[in-house]
Structure 1
Amino acid sequence: MTFRMPPEWAPHERTWMAWPGPNATFSGDDLAESRGAWASVAQAVRRFEPVTVVHSPGQAESARELLGPDIDLVERELDDAWMRDIGPTFVTDGTRLAAVDWVFNGWGAQDWATWEHDEKIARHVADIAGVPVHSSPLVNEGGGIHVDGEGTVLLTETVQLGPERNPGWKKEEVEAEIHAKLGTTRAIWLKRGLTADYPPHGFGTLGHVDIVAAFAGPGVIVAHTQPDPSHPDHELCKENVEMLRSQKDARGRSLEVVEIPAPTVVKEDGKWVDYSYINHYVCNSGVVLCAFDDPRDEIAAGIFRRLYPGRTVTLVDARTIFAAGGGIHCITQQQPRV
């Protein structure tokens, strides 16, 4: 049987995360704040399913102190703490589980990134989970893909087709490799990601899709919109929504696009922000949703409650995570239950 990546709302065996250690992304007070934010997400997810956190040597004490006794810890060398991107993409054929190991090169070999250890984490996680590895020659990260579990995958041209990651690869070649590893048959491409996800705005991924658009069910996509016309993402988001509404998924369904307005805050410290509710995490019986101490937090939570009836929506302050370059989805990685 063909291996495929299940949708995020399918049952999970557990969630994997990585523990922040001192590096270019986290230093001084930022490290302490980041650890607190990562711990809040881990504890929110643990209400619904087991969580394993990978930590660097010498970091077990800090992790246990903040995470508490109910979260599993394993020690492996780390550079950074974005398990969505450095960890494996789990796939299944219905009876067996496997782990896709993409090539990781520091989000396009960015000058602030190091990845000597992170490029090996996918294999370490697969080994701990006891599953075989499917190696890919494609430079890719988990935040750069989103699937519906029924053959459709969302991608971004500036990620998989960017010269920083896959120079010389044609779109058809990228699609063929993605489909071969994920069991998908239809790719929907967004042109780019949000403005603050690119230099010179700080730490960024060069356009990950999981902050812009995500499947919330077969034929249903949640899409980030920026209501403030002064923000450079305002027009981009309008174009994304229009494009997505013109698309069909792998089963020929027209997509229902649910718009999720961005928080009211558009700048922090004089820089545009990419605060987004799209970067959420669906776990067993729950949804862990980014919060920003913003009037639109509860609006977004209400939308997700309607999209996921029967699941508890938990808001977790994600501003510290976004300051480091990502969100709740970026620091979590699901292991499907077989």
Structure 2
Amino acid sequence: MTPKQQGFFFPPEWHPHVATWLTFPHNEASWQGNKRHLMYSQYFGLIKAISKGEKVGLNVNDETLKNFILGELPKYEIDLNQIEILVNPTNDAWCRDHGPAFLINPETKERMIVNWGYNAWGGKYPPFDDDNNLPTAIAKHRGLNYVTPGIIMEGGSVEFNGAGTILTSRECLLNENRNPHLTQGQIEQYLYDYYGAEQVLWVNDGIVGDDTDGHIDDTVRFVNEDTVITMVEPNKADDNHEILEENLQLLKQMRLLNGKQLNIVEIPMPTPVMVDDFRTPASYANFLICNAGVLVPTFDCKNDDVALDILSQVFTDRPVIGLPSNKIIWGQGSFHCLTQQEPAV
């Protein structure tokens, strides 16, 4: 029986968490060569903010890195009782994509993990075998059953409303570098069977600089069952303008399972964040919803306050907290890309 047939589903991100998992960065190449150490203060700031409301699980490559982390945590006044370290080989930091997808069954009070395949966004950044093994390692650590669908799927490519609907992008899930043997209909069936969904809604492309081939968590996010925020670029000369306008028009045409239109809240993109003449995929949509609040990446630009104000109006059950990410984004991802929530049941 599939997880769905057994009563399991992937809950929305605002569902209460037991913990949030991160994979501690150690790959120099991911942060433009020698810039990795410059983002540590922002990374530990993220850990501290999460830890105020739930446990933080840290996947750590080796004992040397573990000792470094244990030496740094007190400097940021992080409660060590809130940190759980799992020493396990890893390749990179993007836990949203290679980490475990936790499912819950509210009837039986059980949890399980989906062990999707991971190939570093179409084989772009080998090796990725250690990251690919991480879901099963965490399943064994937690004593949870896991199921292996046998296809490539990344957490940043899918967005959930908790009421049967998944949002995703054609650029990513239909890309020939993921599952070229599958049709759109077959991919949708995997999403139904293993995420416990009933409907898949598709936008087209992702933003400039996104090396994941259009992950949805940089463009459109559910904030409740029938409301999404979507990034827009008012500047018509900007390369993101047409991409985001096209996705906005698609969102306006969509209908949920109950026949309702989406409530759509528009948020302007930040000023382009450049590093070494490369445009990073900086986006306010890459926020993390956790027990302590909604952690929103900020980029030291004029639209930071605009984004925080808009998000504060749509999230009424927890605080919206802006945290600097202008150095984290050098790695081509931000808070949502770095994390994967472990839901309570």
Q: Tell me the TM-score normalised to structure 2 length.
A: 0.92
> Which of 123, 129, 136 is residue 116 of structure 1 equivalent to?
129
1:103 corresponds in structure 2 to 117
Q: Does structure 2 retain, via aligned residues, the 8 Å contact 1:23–1:79?
A: no
Whole-Å separation in 2 of the counterparts to 1:26 and 1:243? 34
Q: Which amino acid aligns with 1:47?
A: K
Query: Equivalent residues in 2 for 1:231-310 (5 A)?
Result: 231-265=238-272, 267-310=274-317
1:59 corresponds in structure 2 to 65
2:92 corresponds in structure 1 to 80
Displacement after TM superposition at 1:295 (Å): 1.6
2:196 corresponds in structure 1 to 183
Q: Does structure 2 retain, via aligned residues, the 8 Å contact 1:190–1:240?
A: yes
Whole-Å separation in 1 of the counterparts to 2:206 and 2:90? 26
Secondary structure in structure 1 of the residue aligned to 2:151: strand
Whole-Å separation in 1 of the counterparts to 2:275 and 2:231? 19
> Could you give the per-residue CA deviations for residues 12-64 of structure 1, whole angstroms, max 9, x where no partner exists?
11110110113421476422123333211111111121111111112112222
CA 1:115 to 1:168, structure 2 compared with 1: closer, same or farther past 3 Å? same
Q: Does structure 2 retain, via aligned residues, the 8 Å contact 1:5–1:91?
A: yes
> Could you give the per-residue CA deviations for residues 160-186 of structure 1, whole angstroms, max 9, x where no partner exists?
211111112100000000110111111
Q: Which amino acid aligns with 1:79?
A: N
1:201 corresponds in structure 2 to none
Q: Does structure 2 retain, via aligned residues, the 8 Å contact 1:138–1:174?
A: no
Secondary structure in structure 1 of the residue aligned to 2:254: coil
Q: Are 1:24 and 2:29 counterparts?
A: yes
Secondary structure in structure 2 of the residue aligned to 1:138: coil
Query: Equivalent residues in 2 for 1:114-153 (5 A)?
Result: 114-153=127-166
Structure 1 vs Structure 2 CA RMSD:
1.5
> Could you give the per-residue CA deviations for residues 110-148 of structure 1, whole angstroms, max 9, x where no partner exists?
1x3320200101111222222111211220110011100
Secondary structure in structure 1 of the residue aligned to 2:264: strand
1:11 corresponds in structure 2 to 16
2:3 corresponds in structure 1 to none
Secondary structure in structure 1 of the residue aligned to 2:40: helix
2:105 corresponds in structure 1 to 93
Q: Tell me the TM-score normalised to structure 1 length.
A: 0.94
Q: Does structure 2 retain, via aligned residues, the 8 Å contact 1:150–1:251?
A: no
Q: Are 1:158 and 2:171 counterparts?
A: yes
- What stretches of structure 2 of length at least 5 have no aligned partner? 1-5, 75-79
Whole-Å separation in 1 of the counterparts to 2:193 and 2:337? 23
Q: Are 1:44 and 2:49 counterparts?
A: yes
Secondary structure in structure 2 of the residue aligned to 1:276: coil
Q: Identity of counterpart residues, as a percentage?
A: 28
